Amino acid sequence: MAATYYCSNADVGMRLGLDSAQRTRAATRLTAAVRRSSVDIDQEFRYYGRTAPTKSIASNTLNGAIVAGATTITLTSGTSFSSAGNGDVNGDSFAWTGKSTNDLTGVTGLSFDHGSGDTVTEGEMAHVLREVCADIAAAYYLEDEAVFHTAGSDPIRSNVLRERGELNLKRIAHLGSVD
């Protein structure tokens, strides 16, 4: 079974401005940076006494509007969603305890109304963790490149990416989850 991380080589490559050929050539180094970033995320959550967040990311759209406090969410397609878990609708975090075809059931935590077609993502904070992971992994990549190559190193960019990623990670880990 392949390992699951919070972000992908493509996410990090986009941060670094790499085209697909450059990403292919740097795949091993990018994967190592993504792995290290994912470990950092898990460790930060554990530091705050929380379980590591889900790495699962499924995404679909609402098939009909929902109101705050709704207990069922109907998706256009629920096939990629787990039978129970955490997610968000446009940043509005929720949990669900069951699934029936395209319906997530036993929903709790919805705070706002949402319109048909709004994006629903499995993995509470997964969209934010993906960005955080990409920032930290890009910083690792740039730092590793600077160690081995003097030409083209970018310590300022690396520091900005690391600082932004770690600051956002601390905020998210401190917030916890909807559980």
Instruction: Look at residue 1 in the predicted model and tell me its pLDDT.
Output: 40
Least confident of 32-36, 51-55, 163-167: 51-55
Buried b (16+ CB within 10 A) or exposed e, 36-72: bbbebbbebbeeeebeebbbbbbebebbeebeeebee
- pLDDT tens column, 148-164: 555 455 667 777 888 88
132 shares a domain with 111: no
46 shares a domain with 133: yes
First and final C-alpha spacing in the chain:
28
pLDDT confidence bin for 179, thresholds 50/70/90: very low
Instruction: Look at residue 86 in the predicted model and tell me its pLDDT.
Output: 86
Least confident of 18-22, 93-97, 109-113, 166-170: 166-170
Least confident of 39-43, 56-60, 73-77: 56-60
Number of domains making up the chain = 2
- pLDDT tens column, 97-131: 999 999 999 999 999 999 999 989 887 677 788 88
118 shares a domain with 63: yes
More confidently predicted of 96 and 147: 96
> Where does 66-105 show beta strands of DSSP type E?
72-74, 85-89, 92-96, 98-100, 103-105
> Which amino acid is residue 91, in one-letter code?
G
28 belongs to a structural domain: yes
More confidently predicted of 154 and 30: 30
Residue pair 62/120 in contact by the 8 Å Cβ criterion: yes
Among the listed residues 131, 153, 130, the one whose alpha carbon sits nearest the alpha carbon of residue 142: 153
Buried b (16+ CB within 10 A) or exposed e, 138-147: bbbbbbbbee
115 shares a domain with 132: no
Residue 137 CB burial class (10 angstroms; 0-12, 13-18, ≥19): buried
Residue 30: partners with Cβ closer than 8 Å, 6 or more residues away? 9, 12, 13, 23, 137, 141
Q: Tally Cβ neighbours within 10 Å of residue 127.
A: 16
48 shares a domain with 136: yes
pLDDT confidence bin for 141, thresholds 50/70/90: very high
- Is the predicted pLDDT of residue 2 greater than 80, yes or no? no
Residues of the domain holding 83: 59-122
75 shares a domain with 47: no
